[in-house]
Amino acid sequence: MYQFNFNFEQFMLDYWQKKPTILRQGFSNFDDPISAEELAGLSLEEEIDSRFISNHDHNWKVEHGPFDESFFGELAESHWQLVVQAANHWHPGAAQLVEPFRRLPQWLFDDVMVCFSAPQGGVGPHIDQYDVFIIQGQGQRRWRVGPKDMGQYQETIKANALKQIKSFEAEIDDVLEPGDILYIPAGFPHEGHTLTPSLSYSIGYRSPKEQELLSNFADYVLAHDLGDVHLHAPDMKAQQSFGEIKQEHLAKLTTMLKAATEDDDLLREFVGSMLSQSRHMLNIVPEEDESSEQEIQQYLFQGSELHKVAGLKTLYHDTHPTVAYINGERFDVSEEIQSQLSLLCNLEHYNRHHLPQAPTAEHWQLLTTLVNKGYWYMDEL
Ligand code: SIN
Ligand code: CO
């Protein structure tokens, strides 16, 4: 169990999206949830997004996984870093690190990126679009963090797709030890430099961009065949100037545009659907043989747990708890079991102690559907 050694409410008030900080011994007696060997093992897998960054003699090079085992037999002593994205989707230990961060909403959370760095390894100075908590595991790294980007840092692309900036003045320049946490809001330049072989864990949060909301909303409208109407203006008058867009016509077009973006029901659906889709591949293995409701009942009553697929997004609007959005899909229940639906969205593991006093047929149906879709799974017994 990972538990913070600091007051998270106070952290939110003082630092969240305001300024970077080091939370010294944010976790006391920190134990790495994964080993360097296990991390290398993940990077051999096709579905897992990994990269290897080296910087021998200032030559930046990025190689993308999956790697084969021989790759790790020939490594230099220094100047490289292995990065595995969404390690929490594939490694239960890495997923454990998310637990203490559950005070931040699931819809903002992106993934746990795990890095193993040899001495002198790093990804160079850069700026992220993510709010990130970098937890130092084994080893020591020196981190420099500069003032927020107000357009003064020029990005260049090094090697393939490694975005870096030139230098920056550091406002934080410190060495992280195991259990220390560095929080960096989006937009603050930073650079990690490895002193001794290091494991670190980046808990990333991505706030949607206005651009992204608009473009995803347009996609949603098209996909659902909404707004398939042309401007209708039977009251149009003959006009004098061919090139003119009349104010009243602009107003009609504006009204059309606004109608879509002012439909609260539509926006709620869109936001639920959009935010419940993970950006990273999930380890969903649909059941080969469908489970029956009786099997799920027996499984729970014998004391076993149902597990949610790691990283699966399970959301609901506080105002409409009879609807859940799971992996972009909408699930509706009656008011009778809405609190169970919320519970399923909030928990990672579900057992008989979570069952209501008298579970209804609808309740068992819901659990069975979620299992048969591969969103929740049973232990292999
Ligand atoms: C790193 O650990 O060097 C990469 C993490 C980051 O800078 O966001
Ligand atoms: Co970064």
* CATH code for the domain of 369: 3.40.366.30
pLDDT recorded at residue 365: 98
Residue 125 lies in a domain: yes
Our mutation pick for probing the ligand 1 site, out of 60, 115, 129, counting the most ligand atoms within 8 A of Cβ, is 115
Q: How confident is the model at residue 158 (pLDDT cuts 50, 70, 90)?
A: confident
Our mutation pick for probing the ligand 1 site, out of 51, 83, 176, counting the most ligand atoms within 8 A of Cβ, is 83
* Cα end-to-end span (Å), the chain: 25
State the average pLDDT over residues 238-253. 96
Residue 85 lies in a domain: yes
Q: How confident is the model at residue 288 (pLDDT cuts 50, 70, 90)?
A: confident
Our mutation pick for probing the ligand 1 site, out of 127, 188, 202, counting the most ligand atoms within 8 A of Cβ, is 202
Lookup result for tokens 């637990």:
99
pLDDT recorded at residue 286: 78
Residues with CB under 5 A from ligand 2 (ion): 128
pLDDT recorded at residue 97: 98
- The structure's pTM equals 0.95
- pLDDT for 159 beyond 90: no
State the average pLDDT over residues 84-110. 98
User: Ligand 1: which atom is nearest the Cα of residue 192?
Assistant: 3
Q: Could you give the CA distance from residue 344 to residue 367 in angstroms, rounded to a whole number?
A: 9
| Spatial CA neighbour of 39 closest among 28, 31, 51, 53 | 51
- pLDDT for 234 beyond 80: yes
pLDDT recorded at residue 149: 86
- pLDDT for 70 beyond 80: yes
Q: Do 191 and 308 lie in a common domain?
A: no
Q: How confident is the model at residue 2 (pLDDT cuts 50, 70, 90)?
A: very high
Q: Do 51 and 187 lie in a common domain?
A: yes
pLDDT over 70, % of the chain:
100
Give 333 Cα–ligand 2 centroid separation in angstroms.
41
Residue 138 lies in a domain: yes
Q: Could you give the CA distance from residue 305 to residue 307 in angstroms, rounded to a whole number?
A: 6
Q: Of the candidates 187, 205, 223, which is a domain's last residue? A: 205
Q: Do 59 and 182 lie in a common domain?
A: yes
- pLDDT for 381 beyond 80: no
Give the type of residue at 234.
P
Give 211 Cα–ligand 2 centroid separation in angstroms.
22
User: Ligand 1: which atom is nearest the Cα of residue 122?
Assistant: 3
Give 115 Cα–ligand 1 centroid separation in angstroms.
8
Write out the residue range of the structural domain in which residue 31 sits: 8-205
Lookup result for tokens 């919320």:
342
Residue 40 lies in a domain: yes
State the average pLDDT over residues 287-295. 92
Better-predicted residue by pLDDT, 190 or 158: 190
Lookup result for tokens 């014998």:
302
- pLDDT for 231 beyond 80: yes
User: Ligand 1: which atom is nearest the Cα of residue 184?
Assistant: 8
User: Ligand 1: which atom is nearest the Cα of residue 132?
Assistant: 8
Q: What is the pLDDT of residues 323-372, one digit of tens each?
A: 999 999 999 999 999 999 999 999 999 999 999 999 999 999 999 999 99
User: Ligand 1: which atom is nearest the Cα of residue 204?
Assistant: 8
Q: Which ligand is nearest to the CA of 124?
A: 1
- pLDDT for 120 beyond 90: yes
Residue 253 lies in a domain: no
pLDDT recorded at residue 260: 86
Q: How confident is the model at residue 155 (pLDDT cuts 50, 70, 90)?
A: confident
Give 161 Cα–ligand 1 centroid separation in angstroms.
15
Residue 177 lies in a domain: yes
Give the CATH number for residue 172: 2.60.120.650
Total domain count, the chain: 2
What are the structure tokens assigned to 247, written together? Answer: 């104010």
- pLDDT for 156 beyond 90: no
Q: Do 29 and 141 lie in a common domain?
A: yes
pLDDT recorded at residue 283: 97
Q: Could you give the CA distance from residue 297 to residue 340 in angstroms, rounded to a whole number?
A: 15
pLDDT recorded at residue 287: 77
State the average pLDDT over residues 182-193. 97
CA distances from 231 to 18, 102, 214, 258, 343 (A): 45, 47, 21, 13, 45
Q: Do 199 and 300 lie in a common domain?
A: no
Task: Indicate the average pLDDT of the chain.
Answer: 96
Q: Which ligand is nearest to the CA of 85?
A: 1
